[in-house]
Amino acid sequence: MSDRIENAKRALGLVDLTNLNDDCTPEDISKLAERTVTDHGSVAAVCVWPRFVAQAVKELTGTGVKVATVVNFPQGGVETGAVVSETIKAIDDGADEIDHVMAYEAFVAGRKGFVEEQIIRVREAVPEPAILKVILETGEIRDPLLIHAASNIAIGAGADFIKTSTGKVTVNATLEAAEVMLTAIEEARRDNAERVIGFKPAGGIRTSEDAEAYLALADRILGHNWASASTFRFGASGLLDALIATIEGTEPAIGQGY
């Protein structure tokens, strides 16, 4: 079996199959749920708007596929109380994972203490075994030093994962931002080997080649055995079809991303 097929099989189990389209309907969520279990294995999770969490939980019961949702999305606002309430509602509806958009504009403006406090408040609303992913919006932060600092703030405030992007801005996941974030995770691991922090690139990852490049980067920085569904996810809508096409030897399908 070729390395490309092996890598596609590896990536398939790391996908957060996503529909965060503004016009998403309950029917779209049902179609999303139907795609989660394939002949080649299951995706890790679906990621949906908060209003669809309860439906997704019901439709995925028994599959082992997690339900993730987004809060403070996509703007990364500063109304912490509203974000906490949104998070509590999502957890009550059955969400396994919360993808929280860091208040990245406040961070760039120098309000690092505020940003940290907001993440801490959201973290307090996400009880174990639910997990918290913090979206940095690296394409808007831009500066690698600031991306590194944002990674450290999110990790220090209790994030289980750090995630590149919402998929709603001009520049989303890049390998350059991923390298900075994975390096921050490695540094945190050196400081505390028992702390497990994951990584999620999201937005614009559409092909098997894209997935392979991100996994190769993670392997180089954190070791070949590091990336698993508990430490690494791809946030994507079109990637699953491309991975299946690679595994089955058909023409790769290019998805629309999100």
**Catalytic machinery residues:** 99, 163, 200
Tokens of 139: 């394409």
Query: Is residue 189 within 8 Å of 195, Cβ to Cβ?
Result: yes
Beta-carbon count within 10 A of 135 CB: 29
Distance CA 68, CA 45 (A): 7
Q: Which residues neighbour 165 within 8 Å (Cβ) at sequence distance 6 or greater? A: 135, 136, 137, 138, 139, 171, 172, 173, 201, 202, 203, 235
Own/partner pairs, 49-54, CB within 8 angstroms, 24+ separation: 49/20, 49/24, 50/86, 50/89, 50/90, 50/93, 50/95, 52/24, 52/26, 53/90, 53/93, 53/94, 53/95, 54/93, 54/94
- What DSSP state is assigned to residue 207? S
Quote the tokens at residue 84. 């906490």
Between CA 19 and CA 173, with CA 63 as vertex, the angle to 5 degrees is 35
Taking the CA atoms of the chain, what radius of gyration do you get in angstroms?
A: 17
Tokens coding 63: 């599959």
